[in-house]
Amino acid sequence: MTYFNFPHIEEDDNLKNLRNDVKSFLKTTFNSNNIKPQADAWMYSANPEFSKKLGEKGWLGMSFPKKYGGREKTMLERYVITEELLVAGAPVAAHWIADRQSGSQIIRYGTEKQKKEIIPKISSGECFFAIGMSEPDSGSDLASVKTFAKKTADGWELTGRKIWSTGAHLSHYMIVLARTEKLDEKNRHSGLSQFLVNLKLLGVEINPIEDMTHQKHFNETVFNNVKLNKDALLGEEGMGWQQVVGELALERSGPERFLSHYILLDNFISEFRYKMSEMGITSLGKIISELQTLRMMSFSIAWMIQEKKSPDVQAAFVKEAGNVFEKKLIETIREMSNLIPFEEWSSSLKSLFQDATLRIPANSLRGGTSEIMRGIISKQLGLR
Amino acid sequence: MKDEVKIILDICDKILLKNVDHHLRLSLEPNSTQFKTLKDEIISSELTKLLVKEDLGGAGMTLNDIIPIVQLSAQYGTPIPFIETIISNFLLSELNIKPENDFITLTNKTENIIIKKDKISGNFKSIPYLNLAEKILVETEIKNQKYIILFQKGGKLKLQKNFLSEPKFDLDAAELEIISMKEKPEQIDVQNLLINVRSIQSFGAMEKILKLCIEYCSQRKQFGRTLSKFQMIQNHISEIALEVAASGASLSTLKNNNKNFYNLKSTAIPKIRTGIASGKVIALSHQVHGAMGFTKEYELSYFTKALNSWRNEFGNEIYWQNILGKLFLNQNKNLWEFLNH
């Protein structure tokens, strides 16, 4: 009767050693390059030089085949590195999407030419990607996208606009989900295709959108009759929906869904370890239990992906449980500080707390809203 | 899952499927034919000796091996001291004592213990299913030394007022016959072991509740539609599923090493997570079931009452949150080191 299995996966000595290697690297690199840890760094903190250093260490494109410049390492090794980067608040935003999902899509669906051209650059930390899914009128209802790719004698002509494309202004490519056939209301998921779009092409316009924290990390990306070669098609024509569903599992299941604001928790504990009330300690115990559980779920999914299983629903669990956890984290820190007035906090801790408080509303929106995650779970349970 | 575990799970499933239903739960008496049949089948299939060493006549399985069996038993709402007997026989086996061919129940809540000439007297509290067991195993401390003692049931049983799913008794015993008694090995922590059994059972019970919610909502119609088509109901059930999934994942702390069943950190994490989940699952599942779930005849309440009972045993999750918080703070590590250690 087990509905959703998260097999227990043990972290072996090899992975433990890898953790230590990453920690030492980060300590040295942060010191020598004057890098300051940031919360939500995978969204807000881009540093192409740092991404290149990770590439040189062999810690990007880890699971990709060596013949395309990958490392042929396991998803569990990648997971461990990802966790360490997140808890350190490392500036990973530039390469994040390319390494997390775009590269895997190209490995899975791309042509030889696409793989040979792009994967080595992702692995060396020199090629960045943005996501081309949402549109002004297509948010949660992704199948309703209107961006259209018309077949031409030379390839395709792309017209439309994508929105909320994080890091597009720093990126080299975007994987765009577009209609290649008119919408069939009876079969809304058909007639969609994915395209590898070079963002330097004529007709591509990237307009920044300022978020409520006054940061400009996401964008509107407009495609004005952009001419694409035939080989810009990623995967099979008409199979875009099936392809994008797999990509979303990669997007939703990672530890960034619950470790985005870990450095706030860590800094709070460092500062007030000996000043917490009994209530504060009790709240801390709760957060430890929930965080460790989420880590076990996400680690288990990394293993499932490695084993070529399709943990789409499990990914929705991690995404939704991670969102709930991070929202609660702010409240938990407030409970933990019930005897420590805000005025007594260091300015750096205050800043982390304020950033987290302002940014948290985005957690349950980006990568699919909570309502969509619950819809996926309901569907799997046979309720829809 | 090991092949031998799959085989045992299959045997167990067949016996429970055949014998356990809500009628049994509501009318269980020690002298009833239904109880006797179930007990005979369980004892004769040697399922109560799964954790007993092979040289003592058991199956030699590990604590980790039996997690799915404890889970299954909880999914069935098995209203007998089946798991209690498995654990009691395990503890006897760890003391190199042969297992019993009878139902045993156990507790570590004891007071005023006096041992005199192979007889035990004292007060024993919160003993599950004492009415259905023949023997009692206790962990107790005498002059700063912990002992594990097995003795014959007797004396006056007092039914505790509790959450009613699982009967618990207090016992004032005078000079009951000791069957075996040995010093408790230092590495065994009986309380943590019992807490972990409850966390696994809670997960199993929550899986059953999720199943009941799905079935009920897929059949019951209101406003011309099945309840399952209402988005609010889907939202409730997906939240239940989320809590069930997290509870199952939290048990991972126990799985790489059998010693983790005694370890404070490995025990606290699932105890807290299943406790939090239980609260949410109880509330949401009753909401989903409406008045039907509130009746004695419908089986939902058996499982929600069991969850309420288990989550309050050995200190509730809030008590354990404080223990876990202090455990971390006292180790002088940063949080990430503590989590990865």
Q: Which residues does chain A have within 8 Å of residue B321's beta carbon, measured at their own beta carbons?
A: 282-286, 289
Nearest Cα residue to B173 out of B119, B225, B133? B119
- Residue B321 belongs to domain spanning: 190-340
Residue A310 confidence (pLDDT): 83
Nearest Cα residue to A246 out of A95, A365, A107? A107
Structure token pair of residue A96: 């994040």
Residue where a domain stops, chosen among B139, B158, B183? B183
**pTM for this structure?**
0.94
pLDDT tens across the length of chain A (384 residues): 777 889 999 999 999 999 999 999 999 999 999 999 999 999 999 999 999 999 999 999 999 999 999 999 999 999 999 999 999 999 999 999 999 999 999 999 999 999 999 999 999 999 999 999 999 999 889 999 999 999 999 999 999 999 999 999 999 999 999 999 999 999 999 999 999 999 999 999 999 999 998 888 899 999 999 999 999 999 999 999 999 988 888 888 899 999 999 999 999 999 999 999 999 999 999 999 999 999 999 999 999 999 988 888 899 999 999 999 999 999 999 999 999 999 999 999 999 999 999 998 888 888 889 999 999 999 999 998
A2 near B CB under 8 A: yes
**What's the pLDDT tens digit per position in A38-58?**
999 999 999 999 999 999 999
Residue B29 confidence (pLDDT): 86
Collect the ranges in chain B with pLDDT lower than 50. none
Structure token pair of residue A121: 């650059």
**Among B237, B250, B273, whose Cβ lies nearest the Cβ of A378?**
B237
Q: Please indicate, yes or no, whether residues B243 and B219 belong to a single structural domain of this protein.
A: yes
Q: Please indicate, yes or no, whether residues B251 and B266 belong to a single structural domain of this protein.
A: yes
Structure token pair of residue A144: 């309703």
**Among A280, A289, A378, whose Cβ lies nearest the Cβ of B324?**
A289
Q: Please indicate, yes or no, whether residues B85 and B128 belong to a single structural domain of this protein.
A: yes
Nearest chain B Cα distance for residue A315, angstroms: 11
Nearest Cα residue to B74 out of B210, B255, B192? B210
Residue where a domain stops, chosen among B183, B212, B244? B183
- The CATH number of domain A13-127 is 1.10.1040.50: no
Query: Which amino acid is present at A61?
Result: G
Q: Please indicate, yes or no, whether residues B148 and B226 belong to a single structural domain of this protein.
A: no
> Are B340 and A300 within 8 A, CB to CB?
no
Nearest Cα residue to A83 out of A170, A20, A6, A32? A20
A87 near B CB under 8 A: yes
Portion 307-326 of A in contact with B at CB < 8 A? 314, 317, 320-321
Q: Which letter does DSSP use for residue A239 in this model?
A: B
**What's the pLDDT tens digit per position in A230-282?**
999 999 999 999 999 888 888 888 999 999 999 999 999 999 999 999 999 99
Q: In which residue are the tokens 């019930």 written?
A: A338
**What's the pLDDT tens digit per position in B82-122?**
999 999 999 999 999 999 999 999 999 999 999 999 999 99
For residues B13, B19, B23, B25, the Cα torsion angle rounded to the nearest 10 degrees is: -70
Domain count of the fold of chain B: 2
Q: Please indicate, yes or no, whether residues B108 and B79 belong to a single structural domain of this protein.
A: yes
B203 near A CB under 8 A: no
Could you give the CA distance from residue A231 to residue A242 in angstroms, rounded to a whole number? 19
Q: Please indicate, yes or no, whether residues B133 and B267 belong to a single structural domain of this protein.
A: no
Q: What is the ipTM of this complex?
A: 0.95
CATH number at residue B264: 1.20.140.10
Residue where a domain stops, chosen among B166, B183, B200? B183
Residue A246 confidence (pLDDT): 84
Nearest chain B Cα distance for residue A320, angstroms: 8
Could you give the CA distance from residue B55 to residue B18 in angstroms, rounded to a whole number? 31
Could you give the CA distance from residue A195 to residue A241 in angstroms, rounded to a whole number? 12
Q: Please indicate, yes or no, whether residues B120 and B79 belong to a single structural domain of this protein.
A: yes
Nearest Cα residue to B107 out of B317, B314, B316? B314
Q: Please indicate, yes or no, whether residues B208 and B282 belong to a single structural domain of this protein.
A: yes
φ, ψ of residue B109 in degrees (nearest 5) = -100, 100
B269 near A CB under 8 A: yes
Residue A151 confidence (pLDDT): 97
**What's the pLDDT tens digit per position in A303-325?**
999 998 888 889 999 999 999 99
A3 near B CB under 8 A: yes
Q: Please indicate, yes or no, whether residues B137 and B233 belong to a single structural domain of this protein.
A: no
**What's the length of chain A?**
384
Q: Which residues does chain B have within 8 Å of residue A16's beta carbon, measured at their own beta carbons?
A: 340
Domain boundaries, chain A: 13-127, 131-240, 253-380
Residue B256 confidence (pLDDT): 81
Secondary structure element (H or E) that encloses residue A209, with its range: strand A204-209
Is-contact A170 A48, C-beta < 8 A?
Answer: yes
Residue A3 confidence (pLDDT): 78
A10 near B CB under 8 A: yes
Cα end-to-end distance, chain A, whole Å: 20
Is-contact A134 A164, C-beta < 8 A?
Answer: yes
Could you give the CA distance from residue A314 to residue A303 in angstroms, rounded to a whole number? 12
A113 near B CB under 8 A: no
All residues at 6 or more sequence positions from A117 whose CB lies less than 8 Å from its CB, including other chains: none
Cα end-to-end distance, chain B, whole Å: 26
For chain A, the average pLDDT equals 94
| Domain at A253-380: CATH architecture | Up-down Bundle (1.20)
Question: What is the CATH T-level fold of the domain A131-240, as seen in this structure?
Answer: Butyryl-CoA Dehydrogenase, subunit A; domain 2 (2.40.110)
B244 near A CB under 8 A: yes
